[in-house]
Each structure stands twice: as C-alpha cells, then as structure tokens.
Structure 1
Amino acid sequence: MTAQVITVTSGKGGVGKTTAVANLATALAADGKKVVCIDGDIGLRNLDVIMGLENRIVYDIVDVIEGRCKLKQAMIRDKHHPDMYLIPAAQTRDKNAVSPSDMVRICNDLRPDTDFIIIDSPAGIERGFRNAIAAADRVLVVTNPEVSAVRDADRVVGILEAEEKSNPALILNRLNPTLVRNNDMLSAEDVLDLLGIQLIGIVPEDESVIIGSNRGAPVVTDAKSRAGQAFRNIAKRIQGEAVPFMDLEQQGGIWGAIQKLTGRK
C-alpha cells in the first residue's frame, strides 16, 4: 500500500474545492479504500465542518509539524467510515507555519499505510497553494463555469506546468444545463477549450450539496442526488475505471460533444 497524493485546488475561492475533497474522500472510502484528508487551508479551515468532525479536533497539522503531537494523534477518524481520517488545519496560525517540505514529510509518513491522501488547497497561488501541491502525485483543478473562475484556473494550470506537476485534471462544478442552453453560462466544452486539460468530472448544480455540507454529511452519500452521483463517478475515474459521463440534458447536444472530446464516445 503506497498512497497516491491528490491535491484539489482552484485559484478562485468559493468554487467548491473543499466540498469536492469531502465528497471524493467519502466515495473512495465507501469503495473500501483507506483515505486521509489533509486540510491545507491554514487559518481558515472548513473541511472539518463539511465532514461533520469539527467537535472532535484536539490536534492539528501545525501541532504535528512543531512536535506537540504525533501524526496519528492528529488524525481524526470519520464517524461513518473507519478507514477515512482528517488531519485538520490550524485555525489560529497563518500559512507560513507550514512549508512545502513539511507537507512532503507528512505525506511520506502516511504513504505506506494509506491508499489515497487528498489535500484541500487554499484559494489563491501563494504559500498555501505551494504547500498543497508540493507532495502531489496528481492535481485536480476545480472551477465553476464563470469567466473569472476559469481565468484563475488557467493561471493555476500554468503554474502547475511550471512546477512540473504534469497532467492536471479538471472538475467542472455547479454546471446548470438550462443556463448553458440559454447561452447564459459557459458550456463544459467552452471551459475545456479555454483550459486545455483533461476532464475528470462534471458536477451539476444541485441544492442538496449545500444541505449536505451544512449537515456535515457529504452529498455523495445521497443516492438520489445527481451531484452525488457525479462525485461517485469521479472517484471511480480516480481509481482508473472508465466511467461514462452523465447526460445531464438527457439528450445529445453538448454532452455528446464532450464525450467525443474526452474519448469516451
């Protein structure tokens, strides 16, 4: 067992990185994988809330780095999946409390006993972002189909290439097919053309995502949610399975074009 380290990042805040981390980790754990989530957003942690673990925090990642606890003491076991853990961010420190080499060391310590390590990157491209990508074997870039979010994602893709973090993959979040059809939102094909990276998943707009996040219950556990199904599909693709993209329109149109574009049709 040697873990694959996956960093989930974006550039722009508020596009759904943390929600994606919680849902992908939960889906991987439901598939029988041992998963450790690391909240890399020092000073502004939220992953614990979305995972429903905020009341269980005793130690955080900075406590590990500064020697106040052992790594295993900072790992909070999930309530529903005994092989899923969270290492929370420090709430009262800034991003300079962690260095890229610290993150590499922690991930290397976790690798032998874990299938997946998923790092929640803070928004932006400063120190916290560089910490989050330092140990990454793979980077998933999350964006909404908004011009400003896509522009920031494009900047992140350029930095990843410069840092030799090759082959990032795209999660397009909160796509609304009705707005796309009315030319009021960028289509998935538009975003793919602009970013020029591999597509690993499209998550439709779904109010159950917010409800689940507020309750500390990731939407991936809701069998009726389209967004939950999309996250489950992404988790399968992370594991190497060839899962077709959902037809959110229930007809041809852009989805046929996207599947052709990604070689799945």
Structure 2
Amino acid sequence: VTANIASALAMTGKKVVAIDADIGLRNLDVVMGLENRIVYDLVDVIEGRCRLRQAMIKDKRQPDLYLIPAAQTRDKMAVSPSDMLLVCDELRQEMDYIIIDSPAGIERGFRNAVAPADEVLIVTNPEVSAVRDADRIIGLLEAEEKGPGRLIINRLKPEMVARGDMLSIEDVLDILAVDLIGVIPEDESILISSNRGTPVAMSGTNGSSASQAFRNVAQRLQGETVPFVDLTPKTGLLNRLNSWFSKS
C-alpha cells in the first residue's frame, strides 16, 4: 500500500519520499524495484555514516519519487521516535509528502512510524481479526493525540461480500467509526506488479481497478473530492455480456 500511495502522489507532480520503518525486515525496496540500488539505509543516516541525501534512492520511472530503505541486519531498537522526528524534520524542507511504512503490530516500529506523522492512514483487511487490530490501533493513536486516522480497506472481494462471507465496507465503518479514504479491491495485478518491482499505481489510466483506487487515494489526500470506485459485483446478463465482450 505504501509503495502505491507514494507512487500515485508522485505521479501528480508532488515530491514524495517513502521511508521503510520496518527495521530488520525491509521489503519496500523490493516492491518498488529498487533493491539493487541500496548503498545506505535509514540506520546509516541515524548513526551518522552518511548524509540523508545519500540514503535517498531516486526512482528512475518517477523523478519526484524517493525511497529511504530500512536496515536489514539491525533490530527495531536501532531507531527511536526522536530519531524519526529529526529525519522527517529535515525531509520536510524539500518534500511535499513523507510516507512512512509502519511495521505490523504496536511495538517500537509502530511508535517510530507514528511519532513524526501529521496524519495516519490505517490499513485493514475486511476480516474480523484484522478489524479488531485496527480498532486497537485507533485507540492508541487517540492516546498519542494523533487523531483517529483515516481508513483504507484493503483486499476487498465484492463477490464474497455479496455472499455474506466477508465484512462489507459498511460493516467495517460501523465498527471502527473513522473516515474512509480508500477501498482497494483484491486484484491479481497487485501481486504481478509487486513481483515485477513496479507499483500497480504506475500502470496509468488504463490500469486495473486497484491502480485506479490507489490514484483516487492520492487525490483525496490532496483534498480533492473523488467518488469511490464501484465495486458492486456484476451479475446476470450484464456479467455474461462483459465476459463475452472481453473474449472478443
């Protein structure tokens, strides 16, 4: 999700840096296709082995997109919330958006990611256990005076919702009671794009519904009013017609 939101923002002409805050388990570099260009990482910056600019990897496809990778051989205690505040204060001078990829859970990595945040986006799958975890995160954010955050529902399958086998958007919103900023449908193009090291948001206007959904999130982050993608499952004659035309 982080890679796609950062990419979608950069595609609108904003200067964006994505920070992988998952120390010890980095993967944002792989998803963005930048793993072979890493020289320095976030911990190198914090421990003074390089300047911040030296750790920033510039994406060759989107000139306004940068990545600061996580250290792979250190644990989360190598970075503190105050370290993240200092790094982000420096980045604010030249970047329009700083997108921090928080590790799962509520331990040190979560606190590091949240400390410098002006706004928090909570990503959850429409599953009971995931929504319960998201509810706990919202409580922690309010305790930290970071607000309730805004919600992205990820990997929604309209067909399963229609059958009653998956929580609906309304179900999730009723439980969490926070503002919705995006709904990302389950889409095989996300997996294909990740394996290729190209965020699906970069696929342009002719891309998948997931690609469009990420671009819509980027527009909403910039204050635009954008309708949500219609994820109603197609049924009956319309479904058969769409299937027939897709094969023609």
Q: Deviation of residue 185 (structure 1)?
A: 0.3
- Residue number in structure 1 paired with 2:22: 41
In the other structure, the counterpart of 1:11 is: none
1:17-32 aligned at under 5 Å gives the runs 20-32=1-13
Give 1:36's aligned amino acid: V
Q: Which residue type is aligned with residue 198 of structure 1?
A: D
Q: How does the TM-score come out when normalised to structure 1?
A: 0.86
Instruction: Give how far 1:83 is off.
Output: 1.4
Indicate yes or no: 2:218 matched with 1:235: yes
Which structure 2 residue ranges, 5 or more long, are not aligned? 235-248
2:22 touches 2:70 (CA, 8 Å); kept in 1?
yes
Match of 1:247 in 2: 230
1:82 aligns with 2:63: yes
Secondary structure, aligned partner of 1:106? helix
Q: Which runs of 5+ in 1 are unaligned?
A: 1-19, 252-265
Provide the C-alpha distance between the structure 2 equivalents of 1:224 and 1:82, rounded to a whole number of angstroms: 20
**Higher-RCO chain (CA-CA 8 Å, sequence separation at least 6):** 1
Selected match of 2:169 from 188, 192, 195: 188
- Distance, in Å, in 1 between the alignment partners of 2:161 and 2:233 is 14
> Deviations 1:162-214 (Å, cap 9, x if unpaired)?
00001400000010111000000000100001111100010111000000001
Q: SS where residue 113 of structure 1 aligns?
A: coil
In 2: Cα distance, 1:181 partner to 1:65 partner: 49
Structure 1 residues 67-146: aligned runs within 5 Å: 67-146=48-127
Q: Contact 1:173–1:203 (CA<8 Å) still a contact in 2? A: yes
Distance in 2 separating the partners of 1:204 and 1:104: 33
Determine helix, strand or coil for the equivalent of 2:93.
helix
How far apart in 2 are the matches of 1:224 and 1:64?
Answer: 36
Give the aligned residue type for 1:192: L
1:52 aligns with 2:33: yes
Matching residue's letter, 1:125? I
Q: Which residue in 2 is equivalent to 1:262?
A: none
Which stretches of structure 1, 4 residues or more, deviate above 6 A after TM superposition?
none
Question: What pairs with 1:214-233 in structure 2 (closer than 5 Å)?
Answer: 214-222=195-203, 223-233=206-216
Q: Confirm whether residue 154 of structure 1 aligns to residue 154 of structure 2.
A: no
Bigger Cα Rg = 2
Name the SS for the 1:59 alignment partner. Answer: coil
Q: For 2:92, what is the secondary structure of its paired residue? A: helix
Distance in structure 1 (CA, Å) of the matches to 2:201 and 2:68: 21
Aligned-partner Cα distance in 2 for 1:211–1:40: 24
Q: Is the 8 A contact 1:35 1:85 kept in 2?
A: yes
Confirm whether residue 173 of structure 1 aligns to residue 148 of structure 2.
no
Offset at 1:220?
0.9
Q: For the Cα contact (< 8 Å) 1:99–1:131, is it kept in 2? A: yes
Tell me the amino acid that sits aligned with residue 159 of structure 1.
L
Task: Using the TM superposition, give the Cα deviation of residue 250 of structure 1 relative to its aligned residue in structure 2, in angstroms.
Answer: 6.7
**Paired residues, what number?**
232
Q: Distance in 1 between matches of 2:71 and 2:186?
A: 31
The question of whether the paired residues in 2 share the 8 Å contact of 1:138 and 1:167 is answered with: no
2:233 & 2:72 partners in 1: Cα distance? 44
Deviation at 1:159, TM superposition (A): 0.3
Give distance in 2, aligned partners of 1:224 and 1:238.
20
